[in-house]
């Protein structure tokens, strides 16, 4: 019940309530006890007076004949009901007459009698017969009336005490509420700081100690905000200076080279093909000569605007200005999408054509980049096509590379995606949690789970990132192609759900080690998918290791509102969050200040360019920004010892890459004799160091 502790407010309320109940209860008990003692004294006085009075009354009748009169006088007094016991004995201890009144019903609860028992004393008086002592008279008062008086007094005292207690509790509540209300604002502010939201507290508590705390936290938040803003502006200015073309505001050639190398390095993991396009503003020299350089600058800007609009419809597409008259664009594309964008660019160029542009508004070429193909080789092929197009007046720019992988027909894709999604829909989506693992076993035929650790300076695992590869009949499929065709065929959500189910099924063999799952841009902002994702996690969390969700910076920035909602729900389930490709958009970093994230993976392009002094300074600045608000920094795609040494001097929290530990298929980690209930915590020795790279 109190797993996360008990609030100070509740503790104070309980303390005041317990003290009040104890104090008023003790006061009530003492009041009734004092009344009981008083009544005992009254009973003793009453009995003593009765003993003396009756003794004097019967003393003339101590002869044998007069004892009847003495006994009659005693009966008259005893029958009043105020006496429990009257006994007259002679000097030899012989009882001459005796009267006893049974206890009977005192008209009060028995438990009250047991708690506050009255003890009427037996009072004695000597009875004289002239000058001779005739005997001893013993008198004990009856407690019945006294019990009734004590009970009535207790009831009235209880009512008064409860009224006082109620008034005291109301006053204590109002006072504590007034004192602790500022504490609630302080608590919310502290929680906001933990969640990376740095807001000022406007309250001014009356309590001096709380006022000091508020002022201290506000000053700390102001310092964090000022430091964050200053370092963010510095990082953004450096990014603009190094990676942005000042005339068009587009990324420059250096940014293109970094991005090209980064996508090439990911081919082994995802198998994604990507395309590089080149656009030449062929009439720039003519316009500069005939109209001046100002008109030439406007001509370049118009081209930048036109082609940027074309790129906006593409996935992860970026337009770069790589020289005075040339633009380039880089994007992950399917073959059909490449043909479409080629036609769109050709059409837009034809629309802009006029007599003003004697060499045409622009010429373009586009080609798919082969695995491990050098940037210079690709650009050479594109330049050749541009020259050819210029000479032949050709509008089409798509160049076919010499080595092409097998392309699947639409019918083949329908068959493969049906295999991916149909089994999930029919067998897994509505199965009982106890049958989940058994139902997921056939998914091993179409999916492979790949793992790669993220390690810190002490060579300890921060977490392990997971990837899914698609396979059909032994052929590995491009992740991009699979998801693009799934979206076109309307089964994207089912495919993403099937992938998650497969990952959860495989992760049931892992314990203790935190594992990262990648969330696509579309899934991140799809409320139907996210509701399903968190629902199935709640059903399966007892069989899963600690989780971490990763998503791209570009995906997070599509809608910060839905991103914050996703993060908030993940945090409620103790799931960590990481943003990858941080800095790839070359936009403002301020958005991370209000996101409750745990890790940031800088864009791999910065990792490959870390030997440059300005890149190191940029990464160091980003590291200081993130550490200032409690976010850890990870460098991915570390491919050599030299790169690792650079980052080890920069207080980077984690490293990942083939230069450290290569990607492993989870099926190679599971022992051959393992059954379905086998579990283990992943260790670094489960991941062999890469033989293709020098490990750090």
Tell me: the pLDDT tens digits for 486-503? 777 778 888 888 888 889
- Is pLDDT of 371 > 50? yes
Tell me: the pLDDT tens digits for 508-563? 888 888 999 999 888 889 999 999 999 989 988 888 999 999 998 888 888 888 99
- Burial category of 392 from C-beta neighbours within 10 Å (exposed 0-12, middle 13-18, buried 19 and up): exposed
| 3-state secondary structure (DSSP) of residue 435 | helix
The confidence score (pLDDT) of residue 694 equals: 37
Task: Please give the helix or strand (H or E) that residue 454 lies within, else none.
Answer: strand 447-455
Calculate the alpha carbon distances from 692 to 219, 604, 658, 683, 687 in Å.
51, 19, 8, 21, 14
Predicted confidence band at 5 (pLDDT cuts at 50, 70, 90)?
low
Tell me if 658 sits within 8 A of 630, measured CB to CB.
no
The confidence score (pLDDT) of residue 515 equals: 92
Q: Is the pTM of this model over 0.85?
A: no
All residues at 6 or more sequence positions from 86 whose CB lies less than 8 Å from its CB, including other chains: 54, 74, 77, 78, 98, 99, 137, 138, 139, 140
∠ Cα 684 666 663 (to 5°): 60
510: which DSSP letter? Answer: B
On average, the pLDDT of the chain sits at: 81
Tell me if 448 sits within 8 A of 468, measured CB to CB.
yes
Helix intervals (H) in 135-279: 144-194, 208-243, 253-265, 267-270
- Burial category of 130 from C-beta neighbours within 10 Å (exposed 0-12, middle 13-18, buried 19 and up): exposed
Strand order in the sheet with 83-90: 95-100, 83-90, 132-141, 122-129
Higher pLDDT, 247 or 332: 247
Under the phi-then-psi rule, with left for phi > 0, alpha for psi from -120 to 50, and beta for the rest, what region is 637?
left
- Beta strands 363-369; 326-332: pairing state: unpaired
Q: Quick one: average pLDDT of 362-388?
A: 81
Tell me: the pLDDT tens digits for 411-455? 777 777 777 677 777 777 777 777 777 877 788 788 888 899 999
Question: How far is residue 27 CA from its own chain's centroid?
Answer: 49
Predicted confidence band at 649 (pLDDT cuts at 50, 70, 90)?
confident
- Burial category of 650 from C-beta neighbours within 10 Å (exposed 0-12, middle 13-18, buried 19 and up): middle
Tell me if 322 sits within 8 A of 262, measured CB to CB.
no
In the block, tokens 């052929």 appear at 475
Tell me: the pLDDT tens digits for 211-243? 787 888 788 777 777 777 777 777 777 777 788
The confidence score (pLDDT) of residue 662 equals: 84
State the maximum Cα–Cα separation within the chain, in Å, rounded to a whole number.
162
The confidence score (pLDDT) of residue 463 equals: 92
All residues at 6 or more sequence positions from 653 whose CB lies less than 8 Å from its CB, including other chains: 456, 462, 599, 632, 633, 634
In whole angstroms, what is the distance from residue 396 CA to residue 386 CA? 10
In whole angstroms, what is the distance from residue 369 CA to residue 377 CA? 9
| 3-state secondary structure (DSSP) of residue 456 | coil
The confidence score (pLDDT) of residue 403 equals: 43
Tell me: the pLDDT tens digits for 130-142? 778 888 889 988 8
In whole angstroms, what is the distance from residue 91 CA to residue 132 CA? 10
| 3-state secondary structure (DSSP) of residue 680 | strand
Tell me if 600 sits within 8 A of 631, measured CB to CB.
yes
| 3-state secondary structure (DSSP) of residue 280 | strand
Higher pLDDT, 449 or 200: 449
Higher pLDDT, 410 or 355: 355
- Burial category of 292 from C-beta neighbours within 10 Å (exposed 0-12, middle 13-18, buried 19 and up): exposed
The confidence score (pLDDT) of residue 696 equals: 33
DSSP letters along 571-613, please? HHTT-EEEEEEETTT-S-SGGGGGS--SEEEE-HHHHHTTTSH
**Rg, Å, the chain Cα set:** 46
All residues at 6 or more sequence positions from 639 whose CB lies less than 8 Å from its CB, including other chains: 265, 608, 657, 658, 659, 693
């Amino acid at each position: 019940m109190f797993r996360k502790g008990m609030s100070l407010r509740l503790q104070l309320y309980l303390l005041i309530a317990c003290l009040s109940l104890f104090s008023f209860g003790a006061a009530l008990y003492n009041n009734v006890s004092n009344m009981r003692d008083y009544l005992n004294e009254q009973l003793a006085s009453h009995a003593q007076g009765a003993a003396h009075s009756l003794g004097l009354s019967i003393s003339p009748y101590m002869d044998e004949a007069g004892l009847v009169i003495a006994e009659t006088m005693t009966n008259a007094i005893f029958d009043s009901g105020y006496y429990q016991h009257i006994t007259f004995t002679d000097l030899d201890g012989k009882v001459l007459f005796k009267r006893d009144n049974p206890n009977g019903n005192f008209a009060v609860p028995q438990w009250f009698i047991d708690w506050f028992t009255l003890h009427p004393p037996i009072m004695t008086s000597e009875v004289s017969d002239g000058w001779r002592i005739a005997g001893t008279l013993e008198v004990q008062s009856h407690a019945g009336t006294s019990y009734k008086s004590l009970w009535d007094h207790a009831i009235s005292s209880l009512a008064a005490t409860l009224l006082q207690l109620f008034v005291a509790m109301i006053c204590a509540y109002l006072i504590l509420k007034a004192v602790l209300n500022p504490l609630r604002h302080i608590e919310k502010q502290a929680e906001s700081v933990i969640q990376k939201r740095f807001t000022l507290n406007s309250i001014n508590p009356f309590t001096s100690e709380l006022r000091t705390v508020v002022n201290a936290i506000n000053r700390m938040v102001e310092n964090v905000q000022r430091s964050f803003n200053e370092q963010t502006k510095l990082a953004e200015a450096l990014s603009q200076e190094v990676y942005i073309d000042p005339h068009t505001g587009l990324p420059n050639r250096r940014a293109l080279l970094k991005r090209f190398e980064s996508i090439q390095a990911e081919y082994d993991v995802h198998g994604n093909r990507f395309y590089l396009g080149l656009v030449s503003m062929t009439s720039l020299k003519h316009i500069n000569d005939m109209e001046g350089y100002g008109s030439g600058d406007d001509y370049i800007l118009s081209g930048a605007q036109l082609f940027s609009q074309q790129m906006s419809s593409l996935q992860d597409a970026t337009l770069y200005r790589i020289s005075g008259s040339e633009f380039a664009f880089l994007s992950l594309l399917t073959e059909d999408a490449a043909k479409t964008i080629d036609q769109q660019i050709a059409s837009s160029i034809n629309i802009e054509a006029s007599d003003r542009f004697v060499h045409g508004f622009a010429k373009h070429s586009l080609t798919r980049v082969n695995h491990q193909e050098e940037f210079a080789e690709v650009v050479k092929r594109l330049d050749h096509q541009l020259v050819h197009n210029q000479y032949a007046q050709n509008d089409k720019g798509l160049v076919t590379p010499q080595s092409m992988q097998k392309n699947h027909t639409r019918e083949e894709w329908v068959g493969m995606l049906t295999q991916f999604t149909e089994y999930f829909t029919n067998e897994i989506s509505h199965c009982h949690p106890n049958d989940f693992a058994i139902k997921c076993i056939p998914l091993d035929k179409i999916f492979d789970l790949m793992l790669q650790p993220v390690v810190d300076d002490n060579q300890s695992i921060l977490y392990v990132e997971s990837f899914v590869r698609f396979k059909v009949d032994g052929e590995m499929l491009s992740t991009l192609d699979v998801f693009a065709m799934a979206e076109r065929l309307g089964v994207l959500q089912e495919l993403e759900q099937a992938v998650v189910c497969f990952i959860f099924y495989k992760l049931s063999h892992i314990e203790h080690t935190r594992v990262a799952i990648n969330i696509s841009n579309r899934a991140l902002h799809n409320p139907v998918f996210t509701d399903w994702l968190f629902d199935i996690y709640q059903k399966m969390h007892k069989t899963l290791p600690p989780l971490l969700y990763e998503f791209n910076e570009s995906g997070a920035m599509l809608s910060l509102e839905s991103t914050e909602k996703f993060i908030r729900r993940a945090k409620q389930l103790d799931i960590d969050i990481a943003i990858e490709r941080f800095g790839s958009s070359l936009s403002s970093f301020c958005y991370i200040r209000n996101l409750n994230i745990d890790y940031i993976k800088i864009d791999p392009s910065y990792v490959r360019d870390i030997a440059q002094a300005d890149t190191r300074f940029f990464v160091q600045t980003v590291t200081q920004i993130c550490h200032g608000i409690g976010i850890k920094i990870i460098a991915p795609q570390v491919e050599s010892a030299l790169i690792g040494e650079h980052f080890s001097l920069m207080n980077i929290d984690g490293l990942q890459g083939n230069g450290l530990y290569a990607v492993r298929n989870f099926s190679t980690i599971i022992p051959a004799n393992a059954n379905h209930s086998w579990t283990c915590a992943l260790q670094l020795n489960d991941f062999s160091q890469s033989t293709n790279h020098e490990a750090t």
